[in-house]
Structure 1
């Protein structure tokens, strides 16, 4: 019974410690903005060396402002990082997902133009 309790506690701890992370940046609050672009960002050596170029928001939003930028380690990112060889205290590959929402110019009501 003690071994079963130990196993359950160990597995629960491992799941809790392998949780996903998310950083959310907000510049403008805009309702009903559903257009979103997702891109993976690749790093190595415990995240110290970037393999992919930095995220260029001006390029992604085509000159418009950005609303939300979210950088997260999703379950998919975590699963892919498990495929790498294990070296103690060294992560050789750690992907993240960047989700970007660009500012959408509101469509004005045609009745407002006549005023």
Structure 2
């Protein structure tokens, strides 16, 4: 049982190396805007996309999107390793969206 747990933790840790960044604008324009996170689900050896694409106009209704970061977190890898014991079924990733901060305009 300990070896199964150790193997699962090792696989989950090593699988957390996928990072993709999409930036809207230059790095100089980037700010520390709060980000929202959601999981994105792929199935059948990641050949079928189970989640709807992220609608950035819905995520950032009052401003433009600043950064979209997709990655496999430790939690994603752990959940994937637990489910995929029986075969290549589920491949979750985390999508983190940062919106540009709207400057404050007093009324």
TM range (shorter): 0.7 to 0.9
Q: Report the structure number with the largest CA radius of gyration.
A: 1
Q: 1:62-83 CA deviation, whole Å, 9 max, x = no partner?
A: 1521000000011110000011
Higher relative contact order (CA 8 A, sep 6+): 2
Name the SS of the counterpart of 2:76 in structure 1. helix
Superposed, 1:51-90 pairs within 5 Å as 51-87=50-86
Aligned residue in 2 for 1:8: none
Q: How many residues were matched structurally?
A: 95
Aligned residue in 2 for 1:113: none
**Residue ranges of structure 1 left out of the alignment (5+ in a row):** 1-10, 111-115
Return the TM-score normalized by structure 2: 0.73
Structure 1 consecutive aligned stretches of length 4 or more whose deviation exceeds 6 Å: none
Q: Tell me: CA distance 1:74–1:85, structure 2 relative to 1, closer, same or farther (3 Å).
A: closer
**Residue ranges of structure 2 left out of the alignment (5+ in a row):** 1-6
